[in-house]
Amino acid sequence: MENNRFETPVTVKSGAEGTTQLLRTAREASDYLLNNWPGKRSPKHREALQACHDALAGDKPAMIARRAFIAAAREVNVFVSDKAPA
């Protein structure tokens, strides 16, 4: 069983209408990076994608993927929150 669940989910903007999406695992973050990414695919985007794949493979902790994803999301202004939902 993969252990790629984030300790605290990450909330990001999803789509042009600005709805939010809660990402709970490295797999969900990877899917967002591949399928919903609004900005250019910068080095931070590539680092986040690699970190997610490393977490999915069990090579690195999910916390590393989460941090890399947040850095990339902030760069393209889709990051909303890294706090647990109320």
Contact 12, 77 (CB under 8 A): no
Q: Is the dihedral of CA 70, 73, 77, 81 positive or negative?
A: negative
Please state, in angstroms and rounded to a whole number, the distance separating the CA atoms of residues 57 and 41: 22
Residue 77: DSSP 8-state: T
pLDDT in tens, 14-25: 877 778 999 999
Please state, in angstroms and rounded to a whole number, the distance separating the CA atoms of residues 32 and 28: 6
pLDDT in tens, 18-75: 789 999 999 999 999 999 998 889 999 999 999 999 999 999 999 999 999 999 999 9
Q: What is this structure's pTM?
A: 0.90
Residue 47: both structure tokens together:
């680092």
